[in-house]
Chains A and B, each alone.
Chain A
Amino acid sequence: MIKAILIFNNHGKPRLSKFYEHYTEDTEQQIIRETFHLVSKRDENVCNFLEGGMLIGGSDYKLIYRHYATLYFVFCVDSSESELGILDLIQVFVETLDKCFENVCELDLIFHVDKVHNILAEMVMGGMVLETNMNEIITQVDAQNKMEKSETRQPETIS
Chain B
Amino acid sequence: MALKIVKGSIDRMFDKNLQDLVRGIRNHKEDEAKYISTCIDEIKQELKQDNIAVKANAVCKLTYLQMLGYDVSWAAFNIVEVMSSSKFTYKRIGYLAASQCFHESTDVIMLTTNQIRKDLSSPNQYDTGVALTGLSCFVTPDLARDLANDIMTLVSHGDCVKRKRCSVLIMYKVFLKYPESLRPAFPRLKEKLEDPDPGVQSAAVNVICELARRNPKNYLSLAPLFFKLMTSSTNNWVLIKIIKLFGALTPLEPRLGKKLIEPLTNLIHSTSAMSLLYECVNTVIAGQYCSSVGSVVLCVQKLRILIEDSDQNLKYLGLLAMSKILKTHPKSVQSHKDLILQCLDDKDESIRLRALDLLYGMVSKKNLMEIVKKLMLHVDKAEGTTYRDELLTKIIDICSQSNYQYITNFEWSVSQPVTPHPPGISVSWWTIRVFAVAQMATLLDNAHLLTGSMQRNGICEVLYAAAWICGEFSEHLENPLQTLEAMLRPKVATLPGHIQAVYVQNAAKLFATVLKSQEGNTDSTTAQETSQLMIDRLPLFVQSANLEVQERASCILQLVKYIQKLQQKDVEVAEEVIALFAGELNPVAPKAQKKVPVPEGLDLDAWINEPPSESESEDEQPKAIFAKEEPKHSRPRHTEVDEKELARRREARKQEQANNPFYIKASPSSQKVYQDAPGVEHIPVVQIDLSVPLKVPGLPMSDQYVKLEEERRQKERAEKKKKEKKKRKEKRSGRGKKHDSGPESEEDITPAHMVDIVTEEMPEVRCVSLQIQFSTSRIFNELSPSSFWVFNEKKSSKHKKKKQKKEKEEKEKKKKKKKHHHHHHHSDGGGEESVQNGTVEEEEPLPVSVYDIQGNLQDGSQVVVSVIFENKCDSFLKSMEFNVLDSLNSKLQRPEGSGPHDGLTVPFQLPPGVSNEARFVFTVQSIVMPQKLKGTLTFIVKDSSTHEKLDFKLHFTCTSYLITTPCYSDAFAKLLESGDLKGSSVRLEGVNMPFHHLLARICFHHHFSVVERIDSCASMYSRSIQGHHVCLLVKTSGQTVSIDAKCDEPTLLGNVLDEIKQTFSQC
- Compute how far the CA of A111 lies from the CA of B93 in the bound complex, rounded to whole angstroms: 15
Q: How far apart are B29's CB and chain A's nearest CB, in angstroms?
A: 11
Please state if A158 and B89 are interface contacts (CB–CB under 8 Å).
no
Contact of B67 among A17, A47, A144, A158 (CB under 8 A): A17
Does B278 touch A at the CB level, under 8 Å?
yes
Given contacts A49-B316, A80-B244, 18 further A-B contacts (CB under 8 A): A24-B71, A42-B349, A46-B347, A46-B350, A80-B209, A82-B275, A83-B278, A83-B317, A84-B278, A112-B18, A117-B63, A118-B96, A125-B133, A126-B170, A130-B165, A144-B126, A147-B89, A147-B126
Q: How far apart are A153's CB and chain B's nearest CB, in angstroms?
A: 11
For B77-104 the 0/1 string (1 means CB < 8 A from A) is: 0000000001111001100100010011
Does B279 touch A at the CB level, under 8 Å?
yes
For A64-108 the 0/1 string (1 means CB < 8 A from B) is: 000000000000000010111101100000000000000000000
Please state if A156 and B88 are interface contacts (CB–CB under 8 Å).
no
Residues in A neighbouring B244, C-beta threshold 8 A: 80, 82
**For residues 17 through 66 of chain A, which have their beta carbon under 8 Å from a beta carbon of chain B?**
17-18, 20, 22, 24-26, 28-29, 42-43, 45-51
Please state if B348 and A1 are interface contacts (CB–CB under 8 Å).
no
- Compute how far the CA of A42 lies from the CA of B71 in the bound complex, rounded to whole angstroms: 32
- Compute how far the CA of A62 lies from the CA of B745 in the bound complex, rounded to whole angstroms: 38
Please state if B347 and A144 are interface contacts (CB–CB under 8 Å).
no
Q: How far apart are B848's CB and chain A's nearest CB, in angstroms?
A: 33
Residues in B neighbouring A138, C-beta threshold 8 A: none
Q: How far apart are B352's CB and chain A's nearest CB, in angstroms?
A: 10
Does B666 touch A at the CB level, under 8 Å?
no
Tell me what chain B mostly uses at the interface: helix, strand, loop, or mixed. helix
Residues in B neighbouring A29, C-beta threshold 8 A: 69
Given contacts A25-B69, A85-B240, A114-B63, contact A46 B312 (CB under 8 A): yes
- Compute how far the CA of A159 lies from the CA of B634 in the bound complex, rounded to whole angstroms: 100
Q: How far apart are A24's CB and chain B's nearest CB, in angstroms?
A: 8
Residues in A neighbouring B64, C-beta threshold 8 A: 113-114
Does B162 touch A at the CB level, under 8 Å?
yes
In the complex formed, the residue of B with least CB distance to A17 is: B67
- Compute how far the CA of A132 lies from the CA of B199 in the bound complex, rounded to whole angstroms: 10
Does A14 touch B at the CB level, under 8 Å?
yes
Residues in A neighbouring B1, C-beta threshold 8 A: 158
Does B453 touch A at the CB level, under 8 Å?
no
- Compute how far the CA of A157 lies from the CA of B103 in the bound complex, rounded to whole angstroms: 32
Does B542 touch A at the CB level, under 8 Å?
no
Residues in B neighbouring A131, C-beta threshold 8 A: 165, 199
**For residues 108 through 159 of chain A, which have their beta carbon under 8 Å from a beta carbon of chain B?**
110-114, 117-118, 121, 125-132, 140, 143-144, 147-148, 151-152, 156-159
For B1-36 the 0/1 string (1 means CB < 8 A from A) is: 100010001000000001100110010000000000
Please state if A114 and B67 are interface contacts (CB–CB under 8 Å).
no
Residues in A neighbouring B172, C-beta threshold 8 A: 126, 128
Residues in B neighbouring A49, C-beta threshold 8 A: 313, 316-317, 350
Q: B residues near A, CB below 8 A?
A: 1, 5, 9, 18-19, 22-23, 26, 52-53, 60, 63-64, 66-71, 86-89, 92-93, 96, 100, 103-104, 126, 129-130, 132-133, 136-137, 162, 165-166, 169-170, 172-173, 199, 203, 206-207, 209-210, 213, 236-237, 240-241, 244, 274-275, 278-279, 312-313, 315-317, 347-351
Please state if B210 and A132 are interface contacts (CB–CB under 8 Å).
no
Q: How far apart are B346's CB and chain A's nearest CB, in angstroms?
A: 9
Please state if B170 and A144 are interface contacts (CB–CB under 8 Å).
no
Q: How far apart are A6's CB and chain B's nearest CB, in angstroms?
A: 10
Please state if B133 and A121 are interface contacts (CB–CB under 8 Å).
yes
Please state if A125 and B22 are interface contacts (CB–CB under 8 Å).
no
Please state if B347 and A26 are interface contacts (CB–CB under 8 Å).
no
Please state if B313 and A84 are interface contacts (CB–CB under 8 Å).
yes
In the complex formed, the residue of A with least CB distance to B351 is: A47
- Compute how far the CA of A50 lies from the CA of B139 in the bound complex, rounded to whole angstroms: 30
Please state if A47 and B315 are interface contacts (CB–CB under 8 Å).
yes
Contact of B316 among A43, A47, A147, A157 (CB under 8 A): A47
Residues in B neighbouring A118, C-beta threshold 8 A: 92, 96
Q: How far apart are B90's CB and chain A's nearest CB, in angstroms?
A: 9
In the complex formed, the residue of B with least CB distance to A33 is: B69
Given contacts A25-B70, A128-B207, contact A47 B93 (CB under 8 A): no
